[in-house]
Structure 1
C-alpha cells in the first residue's frame, strides 16, 4: 500500500514526468510571499516568490503544450478546459469567502470597493484595476483583501495568448524556442525602459511581466525537440548548437546549476526591497535563479534532498489555494485592528490559512480536477464564476445598504463621506496649462493660485464654495487654480508672469514636510486606510530645516517681486482622533460606531509646533498674510471631529473631508473678494 503522501503526489502529477523538486520550489515561493505579507520587516523581499511562480508556470505549461503539439494531440478546448479546472475551484471559494467576510467586516463604502475588485478578479483583470488605483507597495495595500490576485490576472492573460502564438509558430514551422526568445527580449526591454518612468505601471502591466513566464517557457522549449523546427538555417543552427551545449554542459554542471540558482534567489532576498526599482534589472536574480534550479533537473543534491523534502512538496501541492487564502485573512485582520497586526495574530492566521488551503484542495480542487466528469466539472465551474461575477456587480453597482442585515444607518452617515482613493476635484475644475483651474461663465477680476500638496487639494471644494458665495454677493468673481509643487521649490515662471494671478497661496502639511516628531508617520502614512505599519519620514536635521526655511522664504519673495500677494495657510488639526476609520470598533462578526470626544485645542496647536512658529516667522519676513485654520475648525476649547450639524470634519488622519471643506471652511472666502 502506498503512503498517503505518495498517493497525493501521484494524483497531483498525473504523469511520469512529475518532479517533486518543482513542487518544493513552489512551496519556497509561496512561503516567501506569505513571509512578506505576515512579517514584512523580517522578509522584506518575499514578494520575489511571485516571480518564482511565474517562471515555474511558464516552464510547466509550455512543456505540456510543446509535447502535445509534437504528438498532434494539442487542443485549445482541452487546454482552456484544464486551465478552468485548475484555476477556478480554489478561486471561486476564495472570492465567495472574501465577499461574505467583507459583508460582515467592511463599511458600505469599503464593501463597494471590494465588489469592484471581485468583479475584475472574476475575469482575471484585477491587475488593471489595482494599476489604476495605486502601486503595490503603497500604504493602502493592506486594506485590499484581493490585491494579491494581480499576479493571477497577469498569468491568465499570458495563457489566453501564449497557446495561440505557439500553435501559430508550430503550424508555420517556426522554432518555438524562437517564439519564447522574442517574447523575453521584447517584454524585458519594455520592462527596463518603462521602469524609469512609472514603477506601478511596470509592476502591474502584463507586457512588462510576460518575460518572466517566457523565461520558463524558453527553458522548456530549448530542452524540447520542438525547437529544432526549421526557422531559417542560421537561427536553426544557433539553436541546435545552443541546445546541444546546454544539455551537455548541464549534465556536467547540474549540482552547480542548482546551487547557483538557489544562491541567486537568496541574494535577491537581501538585495531587493519594496523601495527598489522593481521589477527591473533586479528581477533577473530570482528569475535566472529559478531557471537554473529547474534546468538542473531532479538529481542534484539541492533538488533531490532539499526541494524534494516531503513537507515542502506537500506545501507545494496546495500552494495555489494557500496563496489565494492567506492574504485576505491577513488583510481583514489589518482592517479589524485598524492596521495593527501582532506577530501572534500573523502566526495564527498563517496557520489557519494552511488548514483552509488543505481543506480547499481536498474537498474542492482535487475532486473537481480529477474525480468529476471533465465536461460537467468545467460547466459547473464556469457557472460558479458567473455567479461570483453577478454578485460582485450587484455589490458594486447597486444600493450598498441592501447588503447589510445589521444596522448600518449610523455608520453610513460617517462612511458616505469617506473617499477611498485620491481627493476628487470638483467637476468645475479643469486642467489648463499645467494647473487645475476653477472657472465658470463670465469675466474674472483675477485668479487665486494655490501652491502645495494634498493640503491644498483638500481645499478644492472650499475654493468652489467660496467662489460661489462671493459671486452670490455680487462682488467681483475670482477664479482659482492649483498646482502640485514640492515644498520650497520656486513657483514656475509662467505663473509668475500671468497678470491675472493676483494672489498666491502656499498650503502644505507643514509639520509632515518638515519631518516633525509630533506627526505619527505610521498612522498618517495610512493615507485613506487603516494601515499603521510603515513610517514614511524621519525628523529633519536642524541644518536641513534651516535650508528649507530659506527656500520657502525665497519662493514667497519671488512671488511678491512679481506683484503677487502671498498667503500662507497654517496646519489644520491632525491626529488619529480625526481618522473616521478609527471610529469603528470592528470584529470578524461586524462593527459598531463610536465617535470619539473632540480634541483639546491646546493639544491640537501643540502638535503643530515648532513648525507652526517657523512658518509664521517665514511669513512675517516675507510680509505675507497668514490664515490659521485653528480659528475656524476649533472653538475656544475643542477641535470637534463631527460638526454640530453632523458633518464629518476629516476624511483621514489630517485631511479635511470634501463636505466639510465645502460647507465649513469659510476662512478662504476673503481670498476671493
Structure 2
C-alpha cells in the first residue's frame, strides 16, 4: 500500500479534477488556526492569519481556473459566476437562515439589529463594508456579531466579481504584469491608509487585494516555474514555508504589531511557495487534514455563529462557577459535527443539483426568503412596558456625536448647552456619560463639552499600547492627536475667563494598567513603564493641571468613574428581562463591590490619593450613592443606570449627578429626579 496521496498539478487541473491534496492541507491549517484563535486557545494569538492563508489560496485557484478557460477559449462569465454561486451560496444560506431563526432567543435587540444589517450585507457581498461601519469605540463588541466572519467571504466575492473582467480584457502576455501592478498598488494603499484608519484598511478590498493578488500572480506564473530548477528551489523552501505557517501565527507580534502587516506578508509568501510546487504526493498520514480541508468552508461558516451566540449568553463573572473556555471548546466541537453535515448534506450536492434555470430559481428564492427573514427580525418589537434597551444602549457622546473630538478643541456651538456657558467638562468617554446629568444639574449656568474618546484630561502624558499598529487608538497618530487635543483645551480655557467651573473625568485605566499600557510624556517621546511609575506620573500631571486651572481662577471638580462590572450590565439586564439564555450572571446583574475594588485597585488608589488635602480639586465618587454592603446598585426603581459595563446610561446620569453635586454643595438648587 502506498504511503502517499496523489495530487493534481495546477497546470493540468481541470474543473472536474479533485483539488490538490496539499492545497486542502493548506486550507485545513488555515481553518484550524482560525478556530484556535476564536476559541482563544493558548498559543494561537495570531490565528487570524489563517484568513490570510485563505486569501492567497483563493486567488491562486480562481485565477488558475479562469486562465485555463481563457487559454482553451471556453471561458464564460455566466458559467463562472454560476459555478461560484453553486459553490458558495447554498451552505452560506443555510447558516444565514439558522442564525436568523436562533437570533430572538440568543441575541439582545441591539445585536439583532446589527445582525439584520450583516445579513443584508452578506446577501449583497458587502458584509465587510457593513462591519467596517459597525466598528468604533461605542459600537457592539465584535465577538457578539454572529456574521462577523462573513467579512472575508464578502471581500473574496468582490475580488471574484472584478477579476474575470480584468483577465478577459487584458492581453494574455500582459496579464501577470497587470496583476503585479494592481498587487503593488494595493500594498501601497495599505501602507498609506492603515496609519489613518486601521479599521478601513482591515476590512476593505483596496487594502487587502494584494493578498489575493499574490495568489493570482502565482497562478499565472505556475507553468513558468514548473521546470526542474525552479521546482528544486521550491522543494528546498517547502519545509521553511511550512514552519513559518505553523510558527508565525503562534507569535505574530515578534515580526510586527500591525495587521495586515509583516506577519500577514510572511504567511502569504510561505503559502505561495507551497502552492507553486507541483509535487505529486503528500504523506498518507495527512489524510485527516485533507478531509478537514475538504470541509474547511463549512467549518468556517458554522463555527463563528455558535461562538458569537455563546459570547452573547455569557455575561461573565468567574464567581458564578462557570468556565467559559469549556463552553468555547464545546461550541467548537459542535461546529465540527454541524460542519460535516453541512458539507455532506448541502455544500457537495448543491454544486451538482443547482444547475440551469431551476438552480438559479432556487438560489434567487433563497436570497429573497433570507432577506425577508431579516426584515421580519427588524420589525419585531419588545413587549409593551419593557425597557427599550436599544435606546438605552445607544452611544452617549454627550451633547452631540461631534463632541467626540477628532481635532483640537474649539468650543463648537453644538457642544454647548447655553450661549455663554460657565461650566466645562473635560475628559474621555467617562466625561461624556456625565453630560446629561450635568446639564440637568447646572441648568442655566450652561455647559461646554471638551471630550475625546480614550483621551483623559492629562496634558503631560498620553497612554500607549505598544503592540498596536498605526491607525488604532493608543498608537500613532492617535498619540499625537490626544496630546494636541489636551493642549488645545488648556489654551482655550486661558482665553475664556467666563468658565468658572471645570469638571475633569476619565476611566483612568488606560493611564494605570501597566500590563496593557505605557505612558508617553508629551513632547519628549519618553516612555513610562510599570504600575507605580505610571500612577505617579499620572497623579503628578493631574495635580499640575488642577493647579494651572486654579491659578486661572477656576473651581475644579474631579468625578471618579462609577463602580463597574467585568460584564455588560445593560446586556445582562436585557437578557434577564427577556428570559434569554444567560451564563455567568450575578443575581440581578449587580456589581460585586469587593470584586470591583480588587479589579480596579489601581484606579481606587489613584482617586484616594487625589482626594488628599494637598489637591485643590473637589473629588466626587459614586460609591456612597450606589454601594451598600457587598453589592452596588445597577438600577434605581427599575431604571437601568448603566449602558454597558461601566458607562452610565443617559437616565442613569440624570438620576445620579444632581444629588452627587448637591452633596458637595456645588448645585444646591438642582432637582432630584429619583
Q: TM-score per shorter chain, which class?
A: 0.7 to 0.9
C-alpha change, 1:100 and 1:562, in structure 2 (3 Å) is same
TM-score normalised by L of structure 2: 0.80
1 CA distance for matches of 2:205 and 2:567? 41
Picking from 353, 367, 370, the partner of 1:385 is 367
Instruction: Look up the match of 1:446.
Output: 421
2 CA distance for matches of 1:277 and 1:605? 34
Q: CA deviation at 1:93?
A: 0.4
Q: CA deviation at 1:69?
A: 1.4
Contact 2:459 2:545 in 1 (8 A): yes
Q: Are residue 335 (structure 1) and residue 304 (structure 2) matched?
A: no
Instruction: Look up the match of 2:389.
Output: 415
Q: CA deviation at 1:215?
A: 0.3
Q: Are residue 659 (structure 1) and residue 651 (structure 2) matched?
A: yes
2 CA distance for matches of 1:656 and 1:451? 17
Contact 1:574 1:653 in 2 (8 A): yes
Q: CA deviation at 1:578?
A: 7.9
Contact 2:429 2:451 in 1 (8 A): no
Q: CA deviation at 1:153?
A: 1.1
SS in 2 for 1:276: coil
Deviations 1:516-564 (A, max 9, x none): 99xxx9xxxxxxxxxxxxxxxx995323322222111112222223333
Contact 1:109 1:418 in 2 (8 A): no
Picking from 210, 217, 230, the partner of 1:250 is 230
Q: CA deviation at 1:100?
A: 1.4
Deviations 1:239-298 (A, max 9, x none): xxxx46x74532322421322321222332244149921101221111000000011123
C-alpha change, 1:156 and 1:464, in structure 2 (3 Å) is farther
Instruction: Look up the match of 1:359.
Output: 341
Q: Which moved further from structure 2: 432-441 or 58-67?
A: 432-441
Contact 2:183 2:210 in 1 (8 A): yes
Instruction: Look up the match of 2:219.
Output: 220
2 CA distance for matches of 1:361 and 1:510? 49
Instruction: Look up the match of 1:316.
Output: 293
SS in 1 for 2:581: strand
Instruction: Look up the match of 2:185.
Output: 186
Q: CA deviation at 1:663?
A: 4.1
Q: CA deviation at 1:49?
A: 0.9
Contact 2:426 2:505 in 1 (8 A): yes
2 CA distance for matches of 1:177 and 1:185? 12
Instruction: Look up the match of 2:477.
Output: none
Picking from 531, 534, 538, the partner of 1:548 is 538
Q: Are residue 165 (structure 1) and residue 166 (structure 2) matched?
A: yes
Q: Are residue 568 (structure 1) and residue 558 (structure 2) matched?
A: yes
Deviations 1:384-406 (A, max 9, x none): 0222122213323x2433xxxxx
C-alpha change, 1:69 and 1:508, in structure 2 (3 Å) is same
Deviations 1:415-462 (A, max 9, x none): 345426x43444596569536756599974434222222211111322
Q: Which moved further from structure 2: 186-195 or 439-448?
A: 439-448
Contact 1:641 1:648 in 2 (8 A): yes
SS in 2 for 1:449: strand
Instruction: Look up the match of 1:534.
Output: none
Q: Are residue 345 (structure 1) and residue 327 (structure 2) matched?
A: yes
1 CA distance for matches of 2:191 and 2:243? 23
2 CA distance for matches of 1:578 and 1:295? 48
Q: Are residue 482 (structure 1) and residue 451 (structure 2) matched?
A: yes
Equivalent residues in 2 for 1:289-308, closer than 5 Å: 289-299=270-280, 304-305=282-283
Contact 2:424 2:450 in 1 (8 A): yes
Q: CA deviation at 1:123?
A: 1.5
Q: Which moved further from structure 2: 571-580 or 377-386?
A: 571-580
Picking from 487, 491, 495, the partner of 2:492 is 495
Deviations 1:46-75 (A, max 9, x none): 111111111111011101111111222111
1 CA distance for matches of 2:204 and 2:401? 32
Instruction: Look up the match of 2:512.
Output: 514
Contact 1:435 1:482 in 2 (8 A): no
Instruction: Look up the match of 1:238.
Output: none
C-alpha change, 1:333 and 1:436, in structure 2 (3 Å) is farther
Instruction: Look up the match of 2:77.
Output: 76
SS in 2 for 1:41: coil
SS in 2 for 1:501: coil
Deviations 1:367-395 (A, max 9, x none): 22113433321321122022212221332
SS in 1 for 2:657: coil
Q: CA deviation at 1:343?
A: 4.3
2 CA distance for matches of 1:548 and 1:223? 58
Q: Which moved further from structure 2: 563-572 or 478-487?
A: 478-487
Contact 2:189 2:206 in 1 (8 A): yes
SS in 2 for 1:596: helix
Instruction: Look up the match of 2:522.
Output: none
Deviations 1:462-481 (A, max 9, x none): 234335xx23xxxx545444
Picking from 583, 599, 618, the partner of 2:610 is 618
Contact 2:231 2:278 in 1 (8 A): no
Deviations 1:62-120 (A, max 9, x none): 01111111222111111111111111011000011111122221223332222222221
Instruction: Look up the match of 2:47.
Output: 46
Contact 1:572 1:654 in 2 (8 A): yes
Q: CA deviation at 1:354?
A: 1.9
2 CA distance for matches of 1:441 and 1:305? 70
Instruction: Look up the match of 1:240.
Output: none
Q: CA deviation at 1:612?
A: 4.3
Equivalent residues in 2 for 1:622-637, closer than 5 Å: 622-633=615-626
Contact 1:192 1:281 in 2 (8 A): no
SS in 2 for 1:413: coil
Q: Are residue 643 (structure 1) and residue 632 (structure 2) matched?
A: no
For structure 1, the 5+ residue unaligned runs are 225-242, 402-407, 522-537
SS in 1 for 2:259: coil
Q: Are residue 285 (structure 1) and residue 254 (structure 2) matched?
A: no
Contact 1:434 1:483 in 2 (8 A): no
C-alpha change, 1:102 and 1:273, in structure 2 (3 Å) is farther
2 CA distance for matches of 1:597 and 1:150? 33
